């Protein structure tokens, strides 16, 4: 019998499993897809930023940066972590929001600088196409990470410490018996003292098989890859007016997203392609944000499923003394994932104490309005 079975091999589940084996527990990680980091974690823009309204998120980002850095050193692949910096653009109706955020960041000791459009264009000539009345906030320490690579590196490191990983293993049901959890799926049942379900947007569906419900609603987020002419240099960009963000992706490509569809989607049947109106929005607005956008064209686009909670905070803790969950990423779980995953792995093992404000039972599992999680203000 394992001490812990972790279900879900995204950034959260892999980080949880790794933290648990580091405590010398016997742990098995089960992932439906053929490799770890294959679902939302593979589809993400990979932005890691300090531009967060909740101080707890800031602390999780800080811890996650260290874990990403350690994985990057282990992988020796320069594309795993790129220190690109991020510029956030505000139209005049939002200048005050950006100014307020800059003050908060300064108080938290995070390097941040406000630029007028003219100064921005001098600093980053590719951004000279932005409207003349914008205000820009420059965060030089923001990163882009490759979450799938992180998952692979972290899972490999954990394997060396005794983690068993089974991919292509879709858990069909969970059963809680007196002193154990029985996990049903292909082949023989897997039995453990405790289970941690870190199955992202599928977590609610999975715990329902054991008779539990969660305030978690899956929704759909889109991203596109655009081919660009070589020779452009620009940082990551987030435009508050359109909610479009752009991430450089090597000399000939960039990622561009917004595309958040704030209504519930079935994580097993949602459309995994980008919508035509998402493409239209990018075609209209991206050229007004970076000069590289003028001749860019969409090569590929996709959608992933993420999980909303009523208060936009994660659900980490126990539904039953043997069954824990880690979900409720609210669309920005890559930047906080290594730390939240680690916390949930240690909590599920009983090594870390439960945090009442993250208790998955703190809110009733009723319907609620899905709101974007990654915003400038609370
Ligand atoms: C288009 C897009 C862009 C994004 N951009 C960013 C960004 O720039 N920065 C950021 O911080 N976040 C971003 N996010 C959000 C981020 O991707 C998620 O918050 C994060 O990946 C959540 O990680 P996870 O491990 O909880 O979920 P997932 O990565 O989805 O992992 C859950 C895993 O559980 C597995 N699973 C499900 N059911 C079962 C089952 N029955 N049996 C076994 N395994 C199962 C799935 O196969 C999956 O691998 C973005 C998301 C999308 C879709």
DSSP label at 376?
S
Q: 3-class SS at 12?
A: helix
Q: How far apart are CA 238 and CA 325, in angstroms?
A: 31
Domains 2-65+147-216+309-358 and 86-139+218-308 share a fold: no
Nearest protein Cα to ligand 1, atom 4: 44
Q: How far apart are CA 288 and CA 131, in angstroms?
A: 7
Q: What is the pLDDT of residue 78?
A: 83
CB of 273 closer than 8 Å to CB of 301: yes
Q: What is the pLDDT of residue 261?
A: 83
322: Cβ contacts below 8 Å, ≥ 6 apart? 176, 180, 181, 193, 194, 195
DSSP label at 330?
T
Task: Give the mutation target among 44, 62, 258, 302 for probing the ligand 1 site: most ligand atoms within 8 A of CB.
Answer: 44
From the CA of 31, how far away is ligand 1's center (Å)? 12
Tens of pLDDT, residue by residue, the chain (378 residues): 999 999 999 999 999 999 999 999 999 999 999 999 999 999 999 999 999 989 999 999 999 999 999 999 999 888 899 999 999 999 999 999 999 999 999 999 999 999 999 999 999 999 999 999 999 999 999 999 999 999 999 999 999 999 999 999 999 999 999 889 999 999 999 999 999 999 999 999 999 999 999 999 999 999 999 999 999 999 999 999 999 999 999 999 999 998 788 888 999 999 999 999 999 999 999 999 999 999 999 999 999 999 999 999 999 999 999 999 999 999 999 999 999 999 999 999 999 999 999 999 999 998 899 998 888 876
Q: Which CATH class is domain 86-139+218-308?
A: alpha beta
Q: How far apart are CA 14 and CA 18, in angstroms?
A: 6
From the CA of 325, how far away is ligand 1's center (Å)? 14
Q: How far apart are CA 126 and CA 132, in angstroms?
A: 14
Task: Give the mutation target among 7, 16, 37, 41 for probing the ligand 1 site: most ligand atoms within 8 A of CB.
Answer: 41
Residue 250 tokens read as: 């090597």
Q: How far apart are CA 193 and CA 176, in angstroms?
A: 10
Q: What is the pLDDT of residue 320?
A: 95
From the CA of 178, how far away is ligand 1's center (Å)? 31
Dihedral sign from CA coordinates of 6, 333, 59, 75:
positive
Alpha helices in the chain (DSSP H): 11-22, 40-43, 55-75, 95-107, 117-123, 147-160, 203-208, 276-285, 337-349
From the CA of 306, how far away is ligand 1's center (Å)? 6
Residue 246 tokens read as: 């752009």
Q: Which among 46, 79, 26, 68 is positioned nearest to 339, based on CA atoms?
A: 68
Q: Which residue has the tokens 């590929």?
A: 300
Q: How far apart are CA 335 and CA 351, in angstroms?
A: 24
Q: How far apart are CA 14 and CA 341, in angstroms?
A: 7
From the CA of 374, how far away is ligand 1's center (Å)? 15
Q: Which among 58, 39, 33 is positioned nearest to 48, based on CA atoms?
A: 58
Q: How far apart are CA 235 and CA 248, in angstroms?
A: 7
CB of 102 closer than 8 Å to CB of 115: no
Dihedral Cα 329, 330, 334, 338, nearest 10 deg: -30
Q: What is the pLDDT of residue 218?
A: 96
- The CA-atom distances, in angstroms, between 319 and each of 198, 201, 214 are 13, 17, 9
Task: Give the mutation target among 11, 258, 334 for probing the ligand 1 site: most ligand atoms within 8 A of CB.
Answer: 334
Q: Ligand 1 — pocket residues by CB below 6 A?
A: 7-13, 30-33, 38-41, 43-47, 170-171, 198-200, 202, 206, 221-223, 257, 304, 306, 329, 331-335, 337
Task: Give the mutation target among 29, 222, 331, 339 for probing the ligand 1 site: most ligand atoms within 8 A of CB.
Answer: 331
Nearest protein Cα to ligand 1, atom 22: 333
Q: What is the pLDDT of residue 366?
A: 87
Q: How far apart are CA 123 and CA 94, in angstroms?
A: 22
Q: How far apart are CA 224 and CA 274, in angstroms?
A: 7
From the CA of 365, how far away is ligand 1's center (Å)? 21
Q: How far apart are CA 39 and CA 343, in angstroms?
A: 21
Alpha carbon of residue 175 to chain centroid: 29
Domain range list for the chain: 2-65+147-216+309-358, 86-139+218-308
Q: CATH assignment of 2-65+147-216+309-358? A: 3.50.50.60
What is the number of residues in the chain?
378
Phi, psi of 277 (to 5 degrees): -70, -25
């Amino acid at each position: 019998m394992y001490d812990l079975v972790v279900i879900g091999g995204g950034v959260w589940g892999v980080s949880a499993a790794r933290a648990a084996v580091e405590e010398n527990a016997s742990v098995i990680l089960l992932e439906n897809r053929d490799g770890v980091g294959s679902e939302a974690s593979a589809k993400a823009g990979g932005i890691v930023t300090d531009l967060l309204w909740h101080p707890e998120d800031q602390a999780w980002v800080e811890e996650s940066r260290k874990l990403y850095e350690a994985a990057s050193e282990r992988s020796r692949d320069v594309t795993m972590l790129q220190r690109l910096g991020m510029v956030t653009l505000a139209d005049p109706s939002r200048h005050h929001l950006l100014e307020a955020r800059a003050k908060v960041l300064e108080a938290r000791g995070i390097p941040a600088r406000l630029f007028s459009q003219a100064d921005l264009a001098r600093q980053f000539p590719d951004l000279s196409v932005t409207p003349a009345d914008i205000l820009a906030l420059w965060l030089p320490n923001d990163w882009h990470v490759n979450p799938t690579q992180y998952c692979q590196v972290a899972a490999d490191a954990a394997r060396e410490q005794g983690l068993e990983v089974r991919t292509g293993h879709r858990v069909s049901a969970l059963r809680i018996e007196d002193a154990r959890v029985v996990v049903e799926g292909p082949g023989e049942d897997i039995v453990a003292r405790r289970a941690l379900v870190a199955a992202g947007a599928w977590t609610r569906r999975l715990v329902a098989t054991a008779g539990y419900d969660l305030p978690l609603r899956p929704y759909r987020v889109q991203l596109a890859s655009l081919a660009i002419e070589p020779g452009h240099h620009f940082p990551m960009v987030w435009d508050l007016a359109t909610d479009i963000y752009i991430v450089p992706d090597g000399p000939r490509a960039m990622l561009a997203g917004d595309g958040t569809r704030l209504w519930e989607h079935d994580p097993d049947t949602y459309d995994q392609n980008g919508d035509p109106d998402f493409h239209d929005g990018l075609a209209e607005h991206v050229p007004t944000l970076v000069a590289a956008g003028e001749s860019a064209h969409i090569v590929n686009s996709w959608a992933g499923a993420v999980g909303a909670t009523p208060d936009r905070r994660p659900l980490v803790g126990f539904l039953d003394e043997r069954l824990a969950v880690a979900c409720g990423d609210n669309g920005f779980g890559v930047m906080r994932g290594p730390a939240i995953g680690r916390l949930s792995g240690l909590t599920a093992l009983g090594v870390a104490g439960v945090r009442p404000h993250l208790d998955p039972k703190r809110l009733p599992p009723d319907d609620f309005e899905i709101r974007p999680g990654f915003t400038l203000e609370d």
